[in-house]
Amino acid sequence: MSRKLTGAMLGGALLLAPQLASAHITLETQKAFANSSYKAVLRVPHGCEGKPTTAIRVRIPEGLIAVKPMPKPGWQLAVVNAKYQHPYRYEGSEVTEGVKEIDWSGGKLPDEFYDEFAFIGRLTDFPPGTVLSFPTVQECEDGAVQRWIEIPAPGQNPDDLEDPAPQLTVVEGKGGDDD
């Protein structure tokens, strides 16, 4: 390999290094239709300051109902149920409460590895352009904590935040199901 090519590759890697170091928890699919099912996959790219991740907690935004988390082998799963701000129609019935927080804990995800934490739910009737935030707390060994909870102000770019919450944008169109 030529020195010129090696230098270009090293330069490119150095340019990406700050982006990788500041990588945060994100949603795999960041756009979805209102009135449709949504599979949320939280991508966890690193631990906390080099320490392994031992827990992930996510708050479910109002209007995402009928939430069911996916168990992960080696992790304990707990949910917090609470009342919705108002009743929703789902599968021909009125629902007034449901999962508002999911907690995966007791596992160990080393800093040098990547993993995903998933759940499904039903998006209710949101106007296109609505942005839903999923504040997430990442706990690691030795009490280290990373809070991905910052929600941008209207018009603010989430990339300008140090610890942005994962976000989903509701887009115009119809989902592929009729739950």
Count helices and strands in the chain by DSSP H and E runs: 1, 12
In angstroms, the CA 64 to CA 89 distance is: 12
| 41-81 pLDDT tens trace | 999 999 999 999 999 999 999 999 999 999 999 999 999 99
* 168/164 Cα distance (integer angstroms): 12
Q: Residues near 137 by Cβ (< 8 Å), separated by ≥ 6?
A: 55, 56, 57, 58, 145, 146, 147, 148, 149
Residue holding tokens 């409460």?
97
State residue 176's pLDDT score.
53
What is the model's pLDDT at position 177?
55
The pTM (predicted TM-score) of the whole model is 0.84
**Which tens digits make up the pLDDT trace of 100-152?**
999 999 999 999 999 999 999 999 999 999 999 999 999 999 999 999 999 99
